[in-house]
Amino acid sequence: MQQRISDEKKFNRVIAVVSIVIPLVVALLFGVKIPNVKPLSFLPPIYASINGITAVLLLLAVWAIKNGNQKLHQRLMTTNIILSLLFLVMYIAYHMTSDSTAYGGLGVIRYVYYFILFTHIVLSIALIPLVLRTYAKAYLNKFDEHRALAKYTFPIWLYVAITGVVVYLMISPYYAY
């Protein structure tokens, strides 16, 4: 019992550090441009697709656990974490080689776009500790706490995954290729 408490404290420290470091590093790297490198303009549709796949796998993971398939649920959720890391690497690589694209929509749709983008970004930052804590609870076999936290983590993660695709679809006509 004492070991589990100690393990959870270690996890919580690592989660806190990672939850602060990732957004800071992304923000810092967002302003860094690698000189004399061809823009990686092929990446946005790939990382938007990763968001779409993540959304589908999240729904499948919920279906799996509701049908008692814990092993499939675990594999799907681990895959989602790996996909999220892959997304992050591609997102950073794109922004380190390409200029930001301005949204060109006008009128009400412009406000809709920026609302979706803003909520997507804010919730994606909040999602980091939520996902890591939810995963840690399962890893530590604290399934009641895992389920309780997953009730918040799942809809936020699903929203972030879906809005990632929506943001891409809305801004893609304005990309300079």
Percent of the chain at pLDDT > 90 equals 80
Q: List domains and CATH numbers for the chain.
A: 2-174 (1.20.120)
**In the structure, what pLDDT confidence band is assigned to residue 176 with cuts at 50, 70 and 90?**
low
Closest CA relative to residue 170, chosen from 119, 123, 101, 121: 101
The Cα diameter of the chain in Å comes to 59
Q: Which amino acid is at 8?
A: E
pLDDT per residue as tens digits for the range 87-135: 999 999 999 998 888 899 999 999 999 999 999 999 999 999 999 999 9
Question: Does the pLDDT value for residue 3 go beyond 80?
Answer: no
- pLDDT tens track for 50-92: 999 999 999 999 999 999 999 999 999 999 999 999 999 999 9
2 has pLDDT over 80: no
Query: pTM of the entire structure?
Result: 0.92
Length of the chain: 177
**How is residue 137 written in tokens?**
């609870």
End-to-end CA separation in angstroms for the chain: 57
Contacts of residue 35, defined as CB under 8 A and 6 or more positions apart, other chains included, come to none
- Between CA 42 and CA 81, with CA 90 as vertex, the angle to 5 degrees is 130
- pLDDT for position 88: 94
Q: Where are the alpha helices (DSSP H) in 31-142?
A: 43-66, 70-97, 108-139
DSSP string, 108-121: HHHHHHHHHHHHHH
Give the residue, 79 or 175, on which the prediction is more confident.
79
pLDDT given at position 18: 94
